[in-house]
Amino acid sequence: MIAIILFGSLGVAMYATWAERKVAAVMQDRRGPNRAGPFGLLQPLADGLKLFMKEEIIPNNSTRFIFILGPSLAMLTATMTSAVVPWGPDIVLGSGSAISLQVADINIGILFIFGVLSLGVYGIMLGGWASNNKFSLLSAIRAASQAISYELPMGLALIALLMMSGSLSLHDIVGQQHGFWKDGWFTWYVFKQPLGFFIFLVCSFAELNRAPFDLPECENELNMGYHQEYSSMKLGFYLFAEYINMFVSSAVIVTLFFGGYNFPFMDVVAAKLGEGSVLMALICIGAFMTKIICFILFFMFVRWTIPRFRYDQLMNLGWKSLIPLALVNMLITGGVILWFFN
Q: In this predicted model, what pLDDT tens digit does every residue of 96-122 receive, in sequence order? A: 778 888 888 888 888 898 888 888 888
pLDDT on residue 342: 66
Higher pLDDT, 216 or 282: 282
Q: Is the pLDDT of residue 148 over 70?
A: yes
Q: What is the rounded distance in angstroms from the CA atom of residue 249 to the CA atom of residue 209?
A: 12
Q: What is the rounded distance in angstroms from the CA atom of residue 259 to the CA atom of residue 238?
A: 31
Neighbours of 292 (CB within 10 A): 24
Q: What is the rounded distance in angstroms from the CA atom of residue 174 to the CA atom of residue 164?
A: 13
Neighbours of 176 (CB within 10 A): 17
pLDDT tens digit string along 170-212? 999 999 998 888 776 888 999 999 999 999 999 999 988 888 8
Per-residue pLDDT, averaged over 257-268, amounts to 91
Domain ranges of the chain: 57-340
Contact (CB, 8 A) for 3 and 9 = no
Give me the phi and psi of 133, to 5 degrees please.
Answer: -130, 125
285: confidence class by pLDDT, cuts 50, 70, 90:
very high
CB neighbour list of residue 151: distance below 8 Å, 6 or more residues apart: 114, 117, 118, 203, 207
pLDDT on residue 225: 79
Give this prediction's pTM.
Answer: 0.92
pLDDT tens digit string along 30-39? 988 988 888 8
